Amino acid sequence: MRIAVPVLGVGQVLVWGSSYYLPAVLAKPTADATGWPLSWVIAGLSLGLLVSGIVSPKVGVVIERRGGRPVLTASAFLMGVGLFGLAVAPNLPIYILAWLVLGAAMGCGLYDPAFATLGRLYGGEARAAITSLTLIGGFASTVCWPLSAFLLDRFGWRGTCIIYAALNLLLVLPLYRLGLRAESPKPAAIARRGAASRGHSATAREQAYVPVYVMVALSMTFASIIASLMSVHLLTLLQQSGMALATAVAMGAIVGPCQVGARLIDLMAGRRVHPIWETILSSALVVLGLGLLLFLRREAALPGLILYGSGIGLRSIVRGTLPLALFGPEGYASLMGRLALPMLIGQAAAPSAGAVLLARFGAAGVLTALLVLAMASLVSSVMILLFLGRLGCEHSQ
C-alpha cells in the first residue's frame, strides 16, 4: 500500500488533468485558434466519456481476472496517443477521433479502474487505500488548471497537449509498470461476488439488494453529472457572475483543496463512519453549495464553492467505498465497471447539455438544473439508508 497509493496518486493527478479537466482551460483557445465550433470542441470530451462508459464494464472484468497493472498501463499509453492526436489534429474529425482514443484511456485509467485495482489488491481492507488515493487525486484540478494555463501561454494549445502526452508516456506509464505489482489471474468463469458458486441463497440475496444497487447507481450518476458539468463550465459560470478570468481561476482552484480537506477528515475519522452516512453528507453539502451559488451568486461564491468542493471530495471517496461496504470485496472490480457505465454516460452528456443551458438560460439556468440533480442525488442516498434498514429488519426476523 505504501507504493501502490502514491504511484496511483501521481497517475490520477496527471490522467485527470490531461483529459477530464483539460477542456476547462483549452476549449475556448482551441476553438479560437482553429475556427472549429466551441460546442464541437467541448463535445470531444463528451464523446470520450461516452466511450469510457462503454468500455468500463469490460475493464472491470479484466481487472477482476488479471489485476489492474496491465489495464492502467494501457490507459497511460492510450492517453499519450490520444493527446498527441489532439496536438497534430489538422481538422475537426481527427480531433474528435483523438478524443475517442482518450475516452478509451479514461475508461481504463480514471478513479473507477483505480478503485477496482485497490479492491483487487487489498480486498475488504481497501477503504483506507481508496481514501488515500482520492486525497492525492483531489489535487488534479488545483495542479493542472494553473499548469495548463501556464503551458497554454508559453506553448499554445497544441504544445500543451504534446507536453501532457509526454508526461503520460514517460512518467505515468513507467510508474504504473514498475510501481504496481503483478497479480495472479483468476479463472475466467468467476462471477461477480461468487454468486454462481454459492447457489440459490446468494441469488436470493442479490435480488433483495437490487433496490439498493439501483439507488446507489442513481445517486452516483446524478453526482457524476454535476461534477462533470461543473468541471467544464465552472469558470464560465463564475465569469457570468461578474468575475474576471483570473479571479474565476483562483476561485475555481479552491474546489481542489476543499476536496482534499474533506478527504483528509475522512482518512482520520472515516473508519468509524459507515460510507452511507458519508454519501448522505456529501449530497447535502453539494445541495447547500449550489444553493448558495444560485441564490446569492457572486457574494456567496466562496462559501458556496467550499461546501460544493467538500461534498464532491467526499463523493469521490464513497464512489469507491460504498459499493465495497454494501456488496463486499468479491467481484468488486466487476461491480465497479458496471456502476461506472451509467455514471460515465451521464458525465458524457453533461458538458454539452451544460453548454446548451448556458446559451439559452445563462448561469442561473445551469445552476438551477444542477441544484435539482443534487437534490435527486440526496433523495437517492437517503433511500439507500431506508432500504438497508428494511433489509436489516427482514434479516433479523
Q: Which residues contact 259 (CB under 8 A, 6 or more apart)?
A: 134, 138, 309, 310, 312, 313, 316
Give the number of residues written for the chain: 397
pLDDT of residue 392: 60
List of the chain residues with pLDDT < 70: 1, 184, 186-208, 269-271, 391-397
- How confident is the model at residue 198, as a pLDDT? 37
Could you give the CA distance from residue 34 to residue 164 in angstroms, rounded to a whole number?
A: 20
Are 225 and 346 in contact, with CB atoms under 8 Å apart?
yes
User: pLDDT tens digit string along 335-361?
Assistant: 888 888 899 888 888 877 888 888 888
CA dihedral of 231, 237, 243, 244, whole degrees rounded to 10: 60
Return the HEC string of 11-37: HHHHHHHCCCCCHHHHHHHHHHHHCCC
Instruction: List the CATH code of the domain at 4-182+200-396.
Output: 1.20.1250.20
Per-domain boundaries in the chain: 4-182+200-396
Q: Tell me: the pLDDT tens digits for 275-303?
A: 899 899 999 999 999 999 888 777 778 88
DSSP 172: I
Q: What predicted TM-score, i.e. pTM, was given to this entire model? A: 0.80
